[in-house]
Amino acid sequence: MLGISTRNLVSVLRRAAFAGSVFILSISVQAAPENQAEEAPVARQDLGIVSSEAPRTVPQLNDEVDYSALRIEYGRRADFMGLCEFGVISEAAYKAFGSSDYQSVLKLTEGKFEQCPVDLNLHFIRAVSFRETDQDEVADLHMDWFEGLVDSITSSGDGRTPQTAFETISVNEEYALISVFGLEPKSQALLDGPPTVDAVTVVDKEGNEDTIYFHPKWHFLRLAHEFPDE
């Protein structure tokens, strides 16, 4: 279940782009399942959320970084949604990728690494686009980031039980990882903890079902910070 298939990722993303999906959640370019559960309540004490005015690390593409630390740094920012969830990869960029217009993909995603260096989808489509335009050195750097970010998530647990859930910084990251595994999400449920986790039922190409558990801690904490009275 944990192997990374570049060919599968390209195929999934292109099919979705051709389908004209508008609301992009992950590298699979799918909305969350319709029966997605309500978000979990979080304690209102010190949440550890950092002001949007706080300085942030903006690494260079060829820097050596601690991917887990960088993901947490961005995940705990109050402006994470603006930085990393909306506007990182536009619908036009996904459509360009789906039609193999790699030059347009690179143009439409220019500067987005500096905006959100921890976006799996961004690194993947730019890696493929640079590769297909014979810019292998930059493609390798983006793929190094992509694999480093994936390893950062998969080293946090095995996703097989609520107690060993993958620790993610967003729901988008959950769905991106599901696509990395070559799976498709079928349904999602919120399980009370501790810790509170997302249980996502997934299906492989043969129709076999399994459940992957995620603990999007910083997603819940950002919600509690943004809506303290709810």
Indicate whether 23 belongs to any domain.
yes
136-179, pLDDT tens digit by residue? 999 999 999 999 999 999 999 999 999 999 999 999 999 999 99
Band (pLDDT 50/70/90 cuts) for residue 86 is confident
Output the average pLDDT for the chain: 84
Q: Residues 6 or more apart from 208 whose CB is under 8 A from it?
A: none
Indicate whether 158 belongs to any domain.
yes
Distance CA 28, CA 183 (A): 9
pLDDT of 39 strictly over 50: no
The whole-model pTM stands at 0.81
Confidence (pLDDT) at 80: 96
In this predicted model, which residue has the larger pLDDT, 14 or 55?
A: 55
Q: Which of 157, 100, 145, 155 is nearest to 121 (CA)?
A: 145
Q: Taking CA 70 as the corner, what is the angle to CA 133 and CA 132, rounded to the nearest 5 degrees?
A: 5
pLDDT of 12 strictly over 50: no
SS (H, E, C) 112-148: HHHHCCCCHHHHHHHHHHHHHCCCHHHHHHHHHHHHH
Confidence (pLDDT) at 15: 42
Distance CA 72, CA 227 (A): 21
Indicate whether 1 belongs to any domain.
no
Average pLDDT over residues 25-53: 53
Indicate whether 105 belongs to any domain.
yes
Confidence (pLDDT) at 126: 97
Q: What percent of the chain has pLDDT over 70?
A: 80
Band (pLDDT 50/70/90 cuts) for residue 87 is confident
Indicate whether 24 belongs to any domain.
yes
Maximum distance among all Cα pairs of the chain, rounded to whole angstroms = 52
pLDDT of 63 strictly over 70: yes
pLDDT of 28 strictly over 90: no
Indicate whether 118 belongs to any domain.
yes
Q: Which domain holds residue 146?
A: 6-226
Domain count along the chain = 1
Cis peptide before 117 (omega within 30 of 0): no
Confidence (pLDDT) at 160: 96
